[in-house]
Structure 1
């Protein structure tokens, strides 16, 4: 049975980017009576709405679907390894599983960013179509193979919000000089727009807003953002999220450990990830709507649309930004080519399906 972890905001905001226990203090995976126990490390505070909930549910799902033959114990950010060291922990065998986001690893594998989100790129369903049907999974496997990691989509927070700002943004000029917490290519795009992008672990964002380390922050959607309390430090909440139209989370599996599993347990891991990917997306879509209403109606958040000149400039800069980002990296160039093919296909279909329907419904 899936369990929902209790959520403590105090522990949530105190989650540190520094690990509090060394890997040597933890025993090797249990192998008794044909049963295994795996460790899952995550980049999220325990019980965090959205990603933290998804990670715990995935661990519970694998344990339940395998009837206990493969039990998974979750370690939240900082409990076993720091939030931004999940990739190395899984590849190095400290943990068999990780739940995180691929754009944290662009320093290790540049093309990893394309498997979370890209500015003005694929939406959640379009991204799933590319990974499942358009060759994305094969490229992802190829990218992570040198690190002894097998990746799966395993949760999705959907289209994001543009971010929280301490001061109102009324034109492109206002973004210049702003220190904004942003990850992946979205951070690079903010830099191109004149802001300063700062990468912080999720648990460090709120303190960063409070102490002046950053002036703004983009993270996920209203459900997760409300729980972190960002609205208490930055009252302006902007849309649309031109830099993060998708929110794919990844399950990292140590490839050596995965290959040691029997066929049925491999299927359990793969299908648990696929199930959580669908459930996480639907849950986020529902909860984001409820949370946005609460933020506006009860928390008196100032909901704002990004200025037209800022959006136009961001859209203009994006193709060149992507070309420059992948230049000289054959794997990244290959992934971008595949991604752009999927985007062109999605745009042609979305124009006469979703986009056309939304226009008709909203009118």
Structure 2
């Protein structure tokens, strides 16, 4: 298939109205853009996803679009990235949807909610359930066009200094857990704090924390959280499939030709798949390393705890959604799609996972 034909088929997004005046730098026919991430340069899974996005845009454009990838803090502090993109200081950014809840509250719902979508369901909701249109509406308020640009997949529930046996065990628990999961845990009685990743292991070692969540085996092993000797709890009810965002200054986006827009959309679709695959492959290896080489003990949250957390999640999410009209519309859309996805999962992915976990004889690798 020719590149132009492929790109026409890849396009599916809309264009929002511009609110600032910014255009990409052009030299010798090449558009040069600057994209800052909210992650350190080349950070596993997250930072590498931004690199893959930039490389794919360059390849699909036959070198006509070049993107300089900057790590978090290289131009502005990480959580000011979207402000710099809106102002035109940067052309693009790469982060996580819920980082921008202070500017547009609805963004906290777009990427992930407790007991919400897995990665495949997130993709389906964005493409066929109205998620992309709602995301565009939210990001237009920040002067940006947005794309789903990666997913961590299901995260872990975190590291706990003691095994969690009851929802009452959350009372007084000093827990590092950001986002909606943190708000739900606080409603359960935990004392929730937020720390940068690099500060988590020292806080675990010093006794300043009783529990901490980062991402999953791939990133947790790299951070050294397994050295705590704590229980590694699952499932990651708080983030069952966390979406990453690529946001582009609206005037820059509107300056693109239709083919260039299709290139950016296709590259984001590729990066979205690549990041999830990277996490899946490396989580497999990292978890095996933790258990077999470092004697990490896995523990499952029991049903009593999960049911209590789910019901608290409903209360917290409803309260947040009711405080903002767009948040309410986003959450209602998620709830409608979630009901359908749950029905299907019960006879498809969920049922197959149960079948695969049964005790039976199966083939083994020949080597």
TM-score, normalization by structure 1: 0.87
Partner of 1:159: 154
Q: Of residues 67, 77, 83 in structure 2, which corresponds to 1:82?
A: 77
Identify if the C-alpha distance between structure 1 residues 184 and 171 changes in structure 2 by more than 3 Å, giving closer, same or farther.
same
Distance 1:150 1:122 in 2: 23
1:224-253 superposed Cα distances (whole Å, 9 cap, x missing partner): 111121222463211011111112111111
Q: State whether structure 2 residue 288 is matched by structure 1 residue 290.
A: no
1:186-239 superposed Cα distances (whole Å, 9 cap, x missing partner): 111111111122233444444544555543322222111111212224632110
Partner of 1:122: 117
Q: Of residues 144, 151, 154 in structure 2, which corresponds to 1:149?
A: 144
- Correspondence list, 1:1-363, <5 A: 29-210=24-205, 214-233=209-228, 235-363=230-358
Distance 1:70 1:211 in 2: 48
Identify if the C-alpha distance between structure 1 residues 103 and 213 changes in structure 2 by more than 3 Å, giving closer, same or farther.
farther
> What secondary structure, in the 3-state scheme, does the structure 2 residue paired with 1:147 have?
coil
> What secondary structure, in the 3-state scheme, does the structure 1 residue paired with 2:36 have?
strand
- Contact between 1:236 and 1:304, CA under 8 Å: does it hold in 2? yes
Cα deviation for residue 338 of structure 1 reads: 0.5
- Contact between 2:149 and 2:271, CA under 8 Å: does it hold in 1? yes
Distance 1:213 1:53 in 2: 31
Over the aligned positions, Cα root-mean-square deviation in angstroms equals 1.8
> What secondary structure, in the 3-state scheme, does the structure 1 residue paired with 2:81 have?
helix
Structure having the higher Rg:
2
> What secondary structure, in the 3-state scheme, does the structure 2 residue paired with 1:110 have?
coil
Cα deviation for residue 165 of structure 1 reads: 2.5
Distance 1:302 1:81 in 2: 40
Distance 1:248 1:159 in 2: 11
Cα deviation for residue 173 of structure 1 reads: 2.5
Identify if the C-alpha distance between structure 1 residues 86 and 204 changes in structure 2 by more than 3 Å, giving closer, same or farther.
farther
Distance 1:207 1:268 in 2: 43
- Contact between 2:117 and 2:240, CA under 8 Å: does it hold in 1? yes
Distance 1:95 1:242 in 2: 35
Which range moved further: 78-87 or 261-270? Answer: 78-87
- Contact between 1:106 and 1:184, CA under 8 Å: does it hold in 2? no
Identify if the C-alpha distance between structure 1 residues 82 and 96 changes in structure 2 by more than 3 Å, giving closer, same or farther.
same
Gaps of 5+ in 1: 1-27
Gaps of 5+ in 2: 1-22, 359-367
TM-score, normalization by structure 2: 0.86
